[in-house]
Each structure stands twice: as C-alpha cells, then as structure tokens.
Structure 1
Amino acid sequence: MADAGDSSSSSSSSSMEKQFEGFLQQLEQSGNLRDRIRAVAAEIESSTRLMHSCLLLVHQSRPIPEVAARAEAQIDVLKGLYRRLAEILLELPGQYYRYHGDWRTETQTAISLIAFLHWLQTENLLEHSEVEQKLGLDSSEFGLDIEDYLIGICFMSNELPRYVVNQVTTGDYDCPRKVLAFLTDLHASFRMLNLRNDFLRKKFDGMKYDLRRVEEVYYDVKIRGLAPTGDSTGDQGTQA
C-alpha cells in the first residue's frame, strides 16, 4: 500500500511540475513580448514629444504651414512604429487587449496632437477612421480603440483655450468665434454618449471648462467691439 501511495504522490508531483513549467514558459514569453512592446511605446512617446514641441510653435504665432510641416514629419515616424507594434502582436493573435495598456497612454497623446494639427489646418474634427489611416492601423487586426480616440480628442480640446488667447493677442479677433462654434458642437456630440469609462468621463467634464474659457474670451472680444462685423454667433452657452 505504501508503494501505491508513493507512486500516486510521485505522479501528482510530476503533474504539478509540468503545469508550472508550462506557466514559466508562458510568463517568459509574455514578459519578452511586453518588453518589446514597451520599447516601441517608448519610441512612440519620444516621437509625440517632438511633435508636441513643434506644435507649441503655433502658440508663438508661427505660420501654420511651417508648424504643420515639422509636425507631420513625426506622423510618418509614428506610422512606422505602429507597424512594428502590429508585427509584434501577430506573434500572439487575439491578445490585443491583454497588452493594450502598454501603449494606450502614448496613443491617446498621439491622437490629441494629430487631431490638433488637423484642426489647425481644417478647423474640423479629425475622425476615428482618419486617425487609423494616418497611423496605418487596420481596424480588423490592429485598430484604434474607440475610447483611446475619444480621450485623445478630449486632450486636444485642452489646447484650444490657450490657442484662442494667443491668437487674440496677435489681433485675430475672429478666432474665438470659430473655436467656440467647434467646441460647442464637439461638446454636444460627446453628450450623446453613455460614458461608462470613469477616466473618459472625467476628461469629458474637463472639456466643459475648455468651452467656458473660450466663451469668456469670445464675449470679452464681442463686448469690446473687436469682433469682426457680421459675426452671427449667438450666446450659445455651455450645458452643465
């Protein structure tokens, strides 16, 4: 009976050992993959930092075409980096959201900068599909998470009050009207969403203050009689 017990114990020990050897291999594989992803994410952060420094020049009244040319060079860099991320994730299909957190913050920053650049050039919102196109993302395999896009757009709105103030100081008194119209529409569009992500909701709440700051500048310009004639923007007001 003792021999049977020893045999059973040995078998159980061997089974346990094999299981944990399998765990070890999976953890090492996952760790190596995550290290490679984080290395690319660090390069994305570096690229967005350079792009941000380029876009800051717009607050110094540098011509938009000059600012855009410098910033757009980094979009090509980012496109190559996201291609590398996609290639890494192909090694473990179906694991996008397992590792998503390792590059999402950098992606949100990239979206905010690209969207701000797009607004400077067109005064329109950069759509989700347009961001994917600019970054070379394939929605079927390695796409852009919707919440990342929305958070990035919220970050982009944070740049607009500063831009408005700086433009007014240089004599562009029509800028507050245009930015106010854009932010009002954007804020109203966000209100259509049932936001369950606490961080996204917090960022959206911040957009309300961006809108109010732009409103204050716009009304100050209007009261002082500096707004261009024919300004038909009404007292739109922010919604609580």
Structure 2
Amino acid sequence: MAGVDGSLSAAPPSPTQSLEKQFDVFKAQLEESGTLRERIRHVVSEIESTTRVMYASLLLVHQSRPTPELLEKAKSQIDVLKGKYNQLAEILGEHPGQYYRYHGDWRSETQTVVSLLTLMHWLETGSLLEHNDAQEKLGLNGPEFSLDIEDYLVGVCFMSNELPRYVVNQVTAGDYDCSRKVLKFLTDLHAAFRMLNLRNDFLRKKFDGMKYDLRKVEEVYYDVKIRGLSSNGESVGDQGIEG
C-alpha cells in the first residue's frame, strides 16, 4: 500500500499475528515463573526435611527424656534453617517485588518452623519467643524478605497444640507442678491473642483451637489440685478461658 509520498507502508499485523505475539509473551512469562517456583520448591523441600529432624527430636520430650539433650539436637538444625532461608532470600532478590506472589510456596513450612522454635524456647525459658527474635534466628530480618506476622502467629498456635500432651505426660511422670506453669502460660497467651481483631480465616480458626488446648490443661491442673498433688497452692488465675 502506497503512502502519501509514494513509498510502501507496512501492512498492520493480522489478528492472528497479534494473538500469537501476545501468547508468545505469556509463554515466556509462565516459563520464567515456573523455573523460579521450582527453585523455591527445591529449597522449601530441604526446609521441610530439616523440620522433620527437629520434630523427631522434640517429640521425645513427651516421653520425659532429658530436655537439654533433646534441645541441643534440635537447636543444631537452626543454622541449617537459617541457611535455607538465606537461599530463598537470594532467589527472591533476583525478582524484586515478587515476595507475596510466591509466599504461599513456603508459608506452611515456615509456620511449622515457628512452632518448633517457640516450643524449644518455651521448654528452655517458660516464655514465648518473640517475633523479632524468631526473625533473627532465621535471618529473616531483611527489608525484602521477613517473617510474615500471620505465619508467626499461626506457628504460635501450632505450638500451643503440643502443650496439653506435654502436660499429661509430665504429670504422669510425677511433675505435678507442670500443669500450673503451662496453664499460666496458655492463659496469658490466650489473653494476648484476644487483643487482636482477627478475621474469619485460618488464623482465626487456629486461635479458636487454642481455647481447647487451654481447657485440656485446665482439666489436668484442677485434677492435680483436687487430688492435693500440686507442689504449691499458687494461683494461676482460676478464671482461665472463662475470664
């Protein structure tokens, strides 16, 4: 087709050509995303393997095995986890602004990691591992890659699920004061969670489950108290979950 100056101008692309060009772009983007996701999943798989080793050690606390020995074995894996999260940070660093697009690929594993770290910390200190300290242990305190607050909170809820079983086994082994200590901790933790305005989502469901953990521990505590087995009569706030 001749232009106004007599030269030939290129014909506009046909609808078929435009469609093919668009889908060529889609293909390239999907292939790049798939490659990135495979790299992420490889690291996440190694994180999962590490948490299994840690959990296998910590399960033995329910058998009244010496806690320091078990904790040392589990704590030896923390540096391994930190290295894996550093790998994830490096991978995501190559694709700025994509954190929440791929966050779901390691969310569940991170919640499990938090639950193990908080359980270990509680067994050592009787207190809750704070969010900033958990980030520090995992090296997740960078501006582009951090420990999501909801993942931390869900992990704390998972940790509370382990405490009723721990209490039952400790009391059975003769540690009658354990129920008082755990009840005090869970009562305070439940009260702290009640300060949050939680939506009706997974975190809310996990928090709702915490009251059942608290109730189970209360039952053990009151049974010990009624039988006169408690080593002291210190009150933990008998309001419990009713309060």
Name the TM-score class by shorter chain.
over 0.9
Q: Which residue of 2 aligns with 1:200?
A: 203
Q: Could you tell me the TM-score, scaled by structure 1's length?
A: 0.94
2:121 alignment partner, one of 93, 118, 142:
118
Question: Does structure 2 conserve the Cα–Cα contact (< 8 Å) formed by 1:75 and 1:135?
Answer: yes
1:159 alignment partner, one of 159, 162, 167:
162
Question: Does structure 2 conserve the Cα–Cα contact (< 8 Å) formed by 1:79 and 1:136?
Answer: yes
Change in Cα spacing, 1:57 to 1:151, as seen in structure 2 (3 Å) is same
**Which of the two has greater helix per residue?**
1
Deviation at 1:29, TM superposition (A): 0.5
Rg larger for: 2
Question: Does structure 1 conserve the Cα–Cα contact (< 8 Å) formed by 2:214 and 2:241?
Answer: yes
CA distance in 1, matches of 2:106, 2:22: 31
Which letter does structure 2 place at the counterpart of 1:125? L
- Segments ≥4 residues shifted beyond 4 Å: none
Question: Does structure 2 conserve the Cα–Cα contact (< 8 Å) formed by 1:132 and 1:139?
Answer: no
Which letter does structure 1 place at the counterpart of 2:210? M
Number of aligned residue pairs: give it: 236
CA distance in 1, matches of 2:52, 2:135: 20
Q: Which residue of 1 aligns with 2:78?
A: 75
1:218 alignment partner, one of 217, 221, 230:
221
CA distance in 2, matches of 1:139, 1:222: 48
Question: Does structure 1 conserve the Cα–Cα contact (< 8 Å) formed by 2:184 and 2:237?
Answer: no
Which letter does structure 1 place at the counterpart of 2:118? A
Note the aligned Cα RMSD (angstroms): 1.7
Q: Secondary structure at the match of 1:138?
A: coil
Which letter does structure 2 place at the counterpart of 1:81? K
Deviation at 1:197, TM superposition (A): 5.1
Q: How high is the sequence identity, in percent, across the aligned residues?
A: 71
Q: Secondary structure at the match of 1:43?
A: helix
Q: Which residue of 2 aligns with 1:14?
A: 17
Residues 150-173 of structure 1 show CA distances to partners (whole Å, capped at 9, x for unaligned) of 000000000000000111011111
1:109 alignment partner, one of 108, 112, 130:
112
Q: Which residue of 2 aligns with 1:177?
A: 180
Q: Secondary structure at the match of 2:75?
A: helix
CA distance in 1, matches of 2:58, 2:87: 25
CA distance in 2, matches of 1:236, 1:178: 15
Q: Which residue of 2 aligns with 1:186?
A: 189
